[in-house]
Amino acid sequence: MTLTFSRHFRHACLVLSVVATVLGQGAFAQDAIRGEIERRVDNRILIAVPPPATANDALVSTAREIGEALVFDLTFTGLFKTLPPELYPPGFVALPANVQMLDFTSWRATGAEYLIYSLIYTEGNQLVGEFRLFDLNAGNQVYGQQVRVDLKSARLAAHRFSEEVVRYVDGTPGCATSEIVFSGKTGDVKEIYVADYDGFNMRKLTEHGSISIKPKISPDGNYVAYVSYKDRYSFLYVLDRRTGKTTPLSKEVGLNSAPSWSPDGRRIALTLSKDGNTEIYLRDPDGGNPVRLTKNRDGDTSPCFSPDGSKIAFVSDRAGMPQIFVMNADGSGQTRLSYHGGKAYDPVWSPDGTMIAFVSEIRGQGFEIYVMNADGSNPVQLTDSPGINESPSWSPDSRHVMFSSTRNGRSELFAVNVRTREEIRIPYVTVSAEGPSWGPRRR
């Protein structure tokens, strides 16, 4: 009934670029996945993902939407390519409502390794999805899950199952249930927005009618720290998403910027210039219990906690130009990390603790996204595009880095696969967007 895991782990280690043509079904923008397959042999896993079966005609459009979400989720990982509908078995119209009626022989003949069978129906005000992952070569179901969501949250059902498919194949679940927060511009106003990781279900979190930027979502997803000019000057605030209440974090004279949550959500590192120079401090989310961590004649800014909370990466120009340093969470042991030959900004630790993403400015290259090992070794350039690429933020599975880019004339959100370096423009975001912060998976 089960498939040898190591075989599929090797597949995952050999994943390649994602291309828009694999999306097949779905109303996605054709430029959602940018780039080309760069290797000669494509070792992604071919998976068939037809729209869910349903006995209720009123759910046909919902079934299509769920199928589209599944296709995007799996393609996004870089582990899979989805079987185009034109290669489905001859005469295929829809999945049968009875799973026992599946024709495994016909599906196996398509060359796909896996098939996702899904059935959706309603119970009261809930949408129920019954999802099954079949190994077509073995003819066995290797994973199954029943998901219940609100009728208005059909895509969430797809996201929950896709995460488990990724876990089965690669050992670590995907990031499809996660959300992103970012600053969105309409006219002369910038507000804080939240959306699903793919940009769907975008909505405002603030209505300040001012400039609100640089949001950072808390580890539990319930709070957002951000910079806003809503009270005339650039102050820091914390928004409780559950109540909509905004609490001042810092309203000091001078610069108030760059909030970063500790892993337990109890402290926020931030940058203040109230003492005449930009330095890094700690505060509680309500602004209490301030502690100064750095004291240097040069500027220190952009703090970021390590996943275990023991260290903080930050930017300092004490080396003559901005570089990434690291210190213990109490401010001790400050040492330089970045030595890649250019200026370095905006460090952010991967959730698995192994890497740090950052922005690099090298003469003649512009602002690009890089990653390096957590000890500063092996810096690797992930992006190579015109415009400014900035504000990196990691996916909860450490597979992708999201960032904002002006390559197309306005600020948009992209994600880059750290393994394949494939860049994906985040669809469904309808405003000029910058400063993304990638939140945790939703339960």
**What does CATH list as the number for 5-170?**
3.40.50.10070
- The full set of domain ranges for the chain reads 5-170, 179-438
Instruction: Please state the rounded mean pLDDT for residues 394-398.
Output: 98
Look at residue 33 and tell me whether its pLDDT is greater than 70: no
> How far apart, in whole angstroms, are the C-alpha atoms of residue 22 and residue 77?
13
Could you give the CA distance from residue 42 to residue 75 in angstroms, rounded to a whole number? 13
Residue linked to tokens 């989720």: 73
Phi, psi dihedrals of residue 146, rounded to the nearest 5°: -100, 130
Contact 373, 386 (CB under 8 A): no
- Assign domain 179-438 to its CATH superfamily: TolB, C-terminal domain (2.120.10.30)
Other beta carbons within 10 Å of 16: 21
User: Per-residue pLDDT for 26 more than 50?
Assistant: no
The tens digit of pLDDT for each residue in 236-249 reads: 999 999 999 999 99
Predicted confidence (pLDDT) at residue 29 exceeds the cutoff of 80: no
Q: SS3 sequence, 279-320?
A: EEEEECCCCCCCEECCCCCCCEEEEEECCCCCEEEEEECCCC
| CB neighbours of residue 181 within 10 Å | 25
Residues 6+ apart with CB under 8 A from 7: none
Containing H/E element for 370?
A: strand 366-373
186-219 pLDDT, tens digit per residue, is 999 999 999 999 999 999 999 999 999 999 999 9
- Residue 156: helix, strand or coil by DSSP? helix
**pLDDT tens-digit series, residues 315-341:** 999 989 999 999 999 999 999 999 998
pLDDT, average across residues 26-39: 39
| pTM of the entire predicted model | 0.89
